[in-house]
Amino acid sequence: MTQTHHGPDERTAPRLTARGRHFSNGVARSRHGLWIALCCVSLLLVVVGAGGVAALRLQQNVSTEALNLGGSSSDDAGDTVDGPLNILVIGSDTRGGQNSDYGDALDQESGARSDVMMLMQISEDRQNVNVVSFPRDLMVSIPECTNPESGTVFPAADDVQINESLDHGGPGCTVATINELTGVDIDHFMLVDFNAVKELSSVVGGVQVCVTEAIDDEYSGLDIPAGSSTVEGEQALAFLRSRHGFGDGSDIGRIQAQQGFMASLMRKVKAEGTLSNPGKLYDIAEAITQNVTVDEGFADPGTFVGIGRELAGIDLNRVVFATAPTEPYLYDANKLQLAADADQVFATMRSGGSLADGGQEQEESAAPEPSAQAPEEQPDRSTPVSVLNASGETGRADNVADLVESMGYLTVAAQEAGVEYPGSTVYYSTGYEAEAQEVADKFGIPAAQVQPDEGYLGVALYVGQDFTEGERIEQQESGEDQGIVGGASGQTADQETCQQAFSY
């Protein structure tokens, strides 16, 4: 385990006590295309680098299963790529086999459950990538599936947790379930086990993560200080698995942490030139392919090399990690159901659009007549605002506090945070969302970095390492943050987020 951190373990801020297509339907396919892993971003990272020798070597590593074991199936388009490419990435929490170190005997006897479900879509022009996560507590309908190992037929079932689909019929049943749930035709799947995460994080030399408070989660084994850390191996796995460490202790908080981890991994690989290092690419591919199961049609090497080369130059702000919009389940508040806004997310994916165009979507929608519009909530300038320096630049809190006061806020306090954040973040308590958004807009802080937190009174602005000078965070060349379609929570790969720690 490798950890590098800055500052103490405690926060010091004031606190309250589209239809896709298969690539090939032939036989004896190479597994070069299977390099698309660590949960989903490796397609963007490693698919472009190996030659034929590496492909032949790696094709011996992987296992395969049927793509779809439900009543509906993706159309087979032969050897051509027509339209967006949709890949379902599944992280299994089964404790058998290589994963037996992560549970007791009862765990190993129980059925598999999908711990992570991410639907990744690569646009037809290869300029946009959408990655939508589904909480494992989401209540859905599962179609009839046959377990490929036992032959047991599971009848169609309503109002069951989505992660049970893996136990019903393996990854093919999860594909069938999400096909029906979203209307997005899934082309391929990848089932990833725990060892893939451990090994890949070590191969790349660790991944930088950030948390608002120190986390010591006895359930997952995650033990990291407040601020920035570099995690690899067991701690990288614990970071991705921890449910009790983030947000409100639910699966939503864990998903946000996973999205932040993957975005950080993408930034690191792109910045360090991994895509141009064949040796490193081979090491990544070796780590991945020994720990995955994929569908039998995955994939034609030449096609994937071409796609990978096109993706190598993709703008990171066009890679969107989003969570399917949800709300409490009608019959059990501890579970979730899809919210109405989920329709916008899935409709965008069915049409092959980008989830990064939330602002454009709002502009193009028909606006109500002025007389019919609800009065806009006006920020309350008496709201207390705390400005905390997490940038590492001496005196930065005072500078930014002056800018907040110039907005008209009357109660502004400046202090050192005692930790360093890579990205500036705004937290707010109940009733202060409008003020938090105004502060974020003033300084160019993305929506993904504006988060509710009842640990503060009013608004708290952490000034991160992305805001060490000037009056506004310098934007990417591609422009301002537009938000995610349907108001879905999430981030783009270029955004550096600090995960909210769960206070027990």
**Half-sphere exposure of residue 24, counting CA atoms within 13 Å on the CB side?**
17
Cβ contact 461:424 at 8 Å: yes
d(CA 120, CA 433) in angstroms, rounded, equals: 31
Q: Write the pLDDT tens digit of every residue in 164-182.
A: 999 898 889 999 999 999 9
Looking at residue 343, its amino acid is: D
E-state strands within 24-166: 63-65, 85-92, 114-122, 129-133, 139-142, 145-146, 153-154, 157-161
Q: Report all structural domains of the chain as residue ranges with CATH numbers, in order of start.
A: 32-357 (3.40.630.190), 378-481 (3.30.70.2390)
pLDDT category at 378 given cuts 50, 70, 90 is confident
Give pLDDT, residue 269.
Answer: 80
How far, in Å, are 91, 120, 181, 289 from residue 63 at the CA level?
A: 15, 21, 26, 9
Cβ contact 213:226 at 8 Å: yes
What percent of the chain stands above pLDDT 90? 41
How far, in Å, are 33, 126, 285, 316 from residue 306 at the CA level?
A: 11, 10, 17, 19
More confident residue, 204 or 504: 204
pTM: 0.76
Q: Which two tokens stand for residue 256?
A: 């946000």
Looking at residue 490, its amino acid is: G
Q: Write the pLDDT tens digit of every residue in 273-317.
A: 766 666 776 777 677 667 777 777 664 444 455 555 666 677 888
Q: With residue 401 as reference, give the H or E element that holds it.
A: helix 396-406
In this predicted structure, the answer to whether residue 43 has a pLDDT above a threshold of 50 is no
Taking residues 222-227, report their average pLDDT.
94
| 3-class secondary-structure state, position 377 | coil
The DSSP letter of residue 185 is B
Q: Which residue has the tokens 């640990």?
A: 455
Give pLDDT, residue 428.
Answer: 94
In this predicted structure, the answer to whether residue 124 has a pLDDT above a threshold of 70 is yes
**Helical pair 278-289 and 194-203, crossing angle rounded to 10 deg:** 170
Q: b/e map of 91-117 (b: 16 or more CB within 10 Å)?
A: bbbbbeeebeebeeeeeeeeebbbbbb
More confident residue, 14 or 184: 184
The region, left, alpha or beta by phi > 0 then psi within -120 to 50, assigned to residue 435 is alpha
Cβ contact 166:113 at 8 Å: yes
pLDDT, the chain, mean: 77
Number of H helices, E strands in the chain: 13, 23
Looking at mean pLDDT, say which of 71-85, 113-127, 340-354 comes out highest. 340-354
Tell whether the torsion through CA atoms of 36, 38, 39 and 40 is positive or negative.
negative
The residues that bridge with 322 in the sheet, in sequence order, are 132, 490
More confident residue, 134 or 41: 134
d(CA 39, CA 34) in angstroms, rounded, equals: 12
Strand 129-133 relative to strand 114-122: parallel, antiparallel, unpaired? antiparallel
Q: Which two tokens stand for residue 374?
A: 């609800």
Taking residues 135-159, report their average pLDDT.
92
The residues that bridge with 408 in the sheet, in sequence order, are none
Annotate 447-471 with DSSP letters as a single string. GGGEEE-TTSSSEEEEE-TT-SSSS
In this predicted structure, the answer to whether residue 227 has a pLDDT above a threshold of 80 is yes
Q: What is the separation, in whole angstroms, between the first and last Cα of the chain?
A: 25
Taking residues 2-13, report their average pLDDT.
40
Q: Measuring CA to CA, which residue among 223, 221, 327 is closest to residue 5?
A: 223
